[in-house]
Amino acid sequence: MGVGGISIWQLLIILVIVLLLFGTKKLRGMGGDLGTAIKSFRKSVKEETEESKEESEKEPEQIGQDADEVVAEDIAAAHKDKA
């Protein structure tokens, strides 16, 4: 048994039929197009991942700044109440 219940001989027959129908030049062209599509897909996924990492790194800094501002306002309010 081969892949998914198909024997190796059946796969070879399918390969020969595909070669006869499309020819080697057309198959090479389709293979190249498929390779280019996969490459661009991987590139876009990598870029998206890098962008999301950059955004997630920025968020804690912003939260820290906001917390510092709140603490400073609380301290200022406490000093006003004492005066």
Which residues 6+ apart lie within 8 Å of 30 measured at CB? 22
- 15 located within any domain: no
Note the pTM of the prediction, 2 decimals: 0.44
Q: What is the pLDDT of residue 65?
A: 61
Phi, psi of 6 (to 5 degrees): -105, 130
Q: What is the pLDDT of residue 36?
A: 93
Q: What is the pLDDT of residue 76?
A: 80
Q: What is the pLDDT of residue 2?
A: 57
Q: Which residues does the chain have with pLDDT short of 70?
A: 1-3, 58-67, 81-83
Collapse the DSSP code of 2 into the 3-class scheme (helix H, G, I; strand E, B; otherwise coil) and give the result: coil
- 32 located within any domain: yes
Range of the domain at 66: 23-82
Q: What is the pLDDT of residue 56?
A: 72
- 12 located within any domain: no
Q: What is the pLDDT of residue 66?
A: 67
Domain count along the chain: 1
- 63 located within any domain: yes
